[in-house]
């Protein structure tokens, strides 16, 4: 139960199986239990506090990304206004 949904404090690191062509499923350990015994049965990375920690980290990263997107959007606005200026036919007088 819960063997495949282990969580660990390290950012985006948790025990999981990675399929390697020609080799099969390779266990990638995210905690000492799994690393030492090479089985998810010994996984120690699941706990509620760890989950909350991960969620917090996730939200933090999401906020940073959103801010970055906002930055890019304002830059696009600036660039667009420059393009608009260039494309506006300047009255050459008649």
What is the contact surface with Zn ion in residues (CB under 5 A)? 6, 15, 30-31, 34, 43, 45
The Cα–Cα gap between 10 and 71 comes to 29
Q: How far is the CB of 73 from Zn ion (least distance, A)?
A: 39
Q: For Zn ion, which is the closer residue by CB, 4 or 81?
A: 4
CB 54 within 8 A of CB 6: no
Q: Name the β-bridge partners of 27.
A: 17
The Cα–Cα gap between 88 and 33 comes to 66
Q: How far is the CB of 29 from Zn ion (least distance, A)?
A: 7
Q: How far is the CB of 81 from Zn ion (least distance, A)?
A: 51
Q: For Zn ion, which is the closer residue by CB, 47 or 67?
A: 47
Q: For Zn ion, which is the closer residue by CB, 6 or 54?
A: 6
Q: Which residues contact 70 (CB under 8 A, 6 or more apart)?
A: none
């Amino acid at each position: 139960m819960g063997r495949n949904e282990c969580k660990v404090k390290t950012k985006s690191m948790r025990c999981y199986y990675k399929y390697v062509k020609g080799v099969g499923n390779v266990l990638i350990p995210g905690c000492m239990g799994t690393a030492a015994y090479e089985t998810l049965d010994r996984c120690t990375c699941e706990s509620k506090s760890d989950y909350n920690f991960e969620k917090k980290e996730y939200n933090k990263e999401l906020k940073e990304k959103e801010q970055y997107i906002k930055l890019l959007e304002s830059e696009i606005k600036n660039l667009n206004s420059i393009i608009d200026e260039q494309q506006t036919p300047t009255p050459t007088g008649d």
